[in-house]
A and B are shown apart, each in its own frame.
Chain A
C-alpha cells in the first residue's frame, strides 16, 4: 500500500514511516496539512494517516477539505485526545478510524489494515509464519503439512499475531479485535486465550512461538 502520513512531530513521523515500510508498504510524510493536501492532489494514496494537532491548518480541517473535495481515501486519525466525544467528532468528520496517543505500531497497522479492507475488498490472501499457514478468511490452516483445527477465537488471535509477527501485539488490540472490548476489563481473558493457543501450537509442532512481553502484550516469532 502507498500511505501518506501527515504528522508534524519528527520522531513519531520517523517511527511510523519506518514501521509502515517494514510492514511492506511505501510511505511518505507531510509535516503540515497544507502539504498533505498538495500531495493528495498530485499522487494517489491507499490510505492517509493524519495527526489532529498540526501547525496551521488542523487535521480536522484537512479531513473536512478532503471529504468536501469528494475524496474517499481511507483516513486514520492520530490524536492525544482520548475521550469518546473526540473520537466520535473525528469519525463524524469522515475519518474511518481513530488511534489515541501513545500508540504502538501494531495498533496503527491493524487499524490501517481494517480501514483499507473496508474500502478495498481483498482476496483471501495467505498468512504465514514459520511452518504455520493460514488464510485471511478460511477456517482451515496447516502447521507443516498437518491440518490444524482451532476454535474461532483462537484462529482470530493467530491471524492477528501472524499479521503482526515479530511485533508486539498489545492486549488492548487483542481485546478489541477478538471481543470488541474497547476498554480494559482488568481481567486475564487475553492471557487464557493466548495460553490455549500457545499450547495448541506446541502440540502441533509449530516452529513459531508466542512470547509474552511483560506489561505490553504478545509477540509471535519464528525461531
Chain B
C-alpha cells in the first residue's frame, strides 16, 4: 500500500494563513463598525438632549406659544432630520405634539398612556414593517411638565450600512491581493527546496554525487540549506570516490598475493616428495596470507583516516607516561643506530585523547625521527600541557625539511626519497589522528633540525 502523500508546503501555509487573514479583517471591520456606531449614537443622543433643552427654555420663556413657534420654526427652516416633539402636563395629557408626516403611521399615542417616570432613558417606538425606530428621550421638569423628543434611527442605520458595504467592497480585493502575495512569496521561499529535490532526483540517476545546486540567497535559511547540501553531497562524493579508489587498490593489491598463494599451492602439490621444497612453498603461502591480512587491516585504517572517521574513545590520559612507554619501545632501535633518544616530560601531562591512537601517533613521530637522524645525533621527545592543550614535540637533528615541503610530508602515501620501507602513511595518520581529536600536527625547523608538533586537547570536560 502506497503511503499517502502529505499536503504541499504551500497548501499548509494557506490553510493557516488564509483563515487568519479573514479573521483579522473581520476583527478590524468589527472594531471600526462598533466605533462608528458609538460615535453616531453619541451624536444622536446629544442632539436629542439639545432639543429637549431648547423646548424647556422655550416653555419657560414664552409658554406653549413659544414652544409651538419653535416647532414651527424648525419645520419651516427644513431641518435635515425630522423630530418628534411632545409636551404634556403633569398628568401626561398632551399639550403640544408635532409628528413629522412620514412617521404618521407610528403609534405615538402610546406615549400618553405610559407614565413618563417609568420610561427608560431612551424609549424605542416602532411598528412591524417599518425599517427604522424612533428613539424618544424624555425629560420631566420640576413642575411636572413632560418634554419628549424623538429621532429616527434611519440615518444612523444608513450610514452604518454604507460603511459596511464600502469596507466589504474595498477589503475583498485587498484580501485577494494579500493572499496572492502570500502564495507568491511562499512559492519563492520553497523554490530552493524544489530545486534541491530535483537535484537529489538527478543524483540518484548519476554515477557521481558531486553537485552544485545554486546557492539561494533570498533567505538565510535557504542559503544555509543549499550551502550545507552542496558541502554534504561533495563530502559524500569524496567518500564514495575514496571508497572506490580503496576498493580498486585493495582488489589490485590482494590479487597479487592471492596469485602467488595459488601458484605456490599448485607447486606444493606437484613438487614430489622433497620436504624442503614443500616447506619453502608453505612458508611462502603463509607469508602471502599474512600480507593479505595486513593489507585489509591497513586499508580499513587508511579509509577511516582519509574520511575523517577514525573511531576515537577519548579519555583522560597522562601523556608523559604514554611517551615514556613509546620511547621505551624504541630504545633498542635508537641504541642500535647510535642515536640518543631523550625524554623530557612533566608528570602528569594531561590530555583528553584516545590512548591507543595517541600511542600510534607518537610512535610514528618517534619512528620517523629515528629514520632520518644520523648516528651520533639526538632525538628529543617533550610534552607540555595546560588545561586547553597538550603538546608533544619530537625534535630531531636530521636534514632540515625545506619550507615548501613542510605540508606535503603529511599527505597520504607521501614518501621521502631516502625512506627505505613502509607505505608513507605514518605522518598522514599522525595528522589524521590529531585533527580527529580537534588538534593538529605540523613541523617547524631551525638550524639544528626539525621539530614535529602534535597538539591534542588538554583536560577532559567533566
Binding site for B on A (CB under 8 A): 82-85, 88, 102, 153, 168, 170, 178-189, 192-193, 195-196, 213-216
Contact = CB atoms under 8 A, between A and B. Distances in A.
B325 A179 contact: yes
A185 B283 contact: no
B290 interface: yes
A181 B325 CA distance: 10
A186 B367 contact: yes
Interface in B33-60: none
B328 interface: yes
A215 B287 contact: yes
A187 B363 contact: yes
Nearest to A185: B363
B402 interface: no
B367 A187 contact: yes
A45 to B, nearest CB: 29
A187 B333 contact: yes
Given A82-B297, A215-B287, 16 more contacts: A83-B300, A84-B313, A170-B290, A179-B326, A179-B328, A180-B325, A181-B329, A183-B356, A183-B363, A187-B330, A188-B333, A192-B332, A192-B333, A195-B336, A196-B336, A214-B287
Interface in B424-440: 425-426
Contact of B286 (A85, A180, A216): A216
Interface centre among B313, B329, B336, B421 (most CB of A within 10 A): B329
Nearest to B368: A187
A185 B367 contact: yes
Nearest to A194: B332
Contacts of B426: 186
Contacts of B332: 153, 189, 192-193, 196
Interface residues on B, range: 20 to 34
A177 B291 CA distance: 21
Contacts of B297: 82, 184
A215 B333 contact: no
Contact of B360 (A153, A185, A192): A185
B329 A179 contact: yes
Interface string B152-195: 00000000000000000000000000000000000000000000
Nearest to A217: B290
B291 A84 contact: no
Contact of B290 (A183, A185, A215): A215
A83 B293 CA distance: 14
Interface in B286-325: 286-291, 293-294, 297-298, 300, 311, 313, 325
B92 interface: no
B329 A184 contact: no
B129 interface: no
B298 A84 contact: no
B333 A184 contact: no
4 closest residue pairs by CB, A with B: A215-B287, A179-B329, A186-B422, A187-B367
10 contacts: A85-B311, A179-B325, A179-B326, A181-B329, A182-B356, A185-B364, A185-B367, A187-B367, A189-B329, A189-B332
B9 interface: no
A102 B289 contact: yes
A214 B287 CA distance: 6
A192 B356 CA distance: 23
B116 to A, nearest CB: 98
Nearest to B329: A179
A84 B357 CA distance: 11
Interface in B326-342: 326, 328-330, 332-333, 336
Contacts of A168: 286
A179 B325 CA distance: 7
A102 B356 contact: no
Contacts of A186: 364, 367, 421-423, 425-426
A172 B329 CA distance: 14
Interface in B379-429: 421-423, 425-426
A44 to B, nearest CB: 35
A88 B313 contact: yes
Nearest to A214: B287
Interface string B333-361: 10010000000000000000000100110
Nearest to B331: A153
A84 B422 CA distance: 23
Nearest to B426: A186
B356 A215 contact: no
Contact of B333 (A85, A178, A182, A189): A189
B254 to A, nearest CB: 13
A82 B333 contact: no
B218 to A, nearest CB: 43
A174 to B, nearest CB: 11
Contacts of A185: 329, 360, 363-364, 367
A196 B332 CA distance: 8
Contacts of B300: 82-83
A129 to B, nearest CB: 21
B363 A181 contact: yes
Given A185-B360, A186-B367, A186-B422, A213 B333 contact: no
A84 B288 CA distance: 25
Contacts of A193: 332
Contacts of B336: 192, 195-196
B357 to A, nearest CB: 9
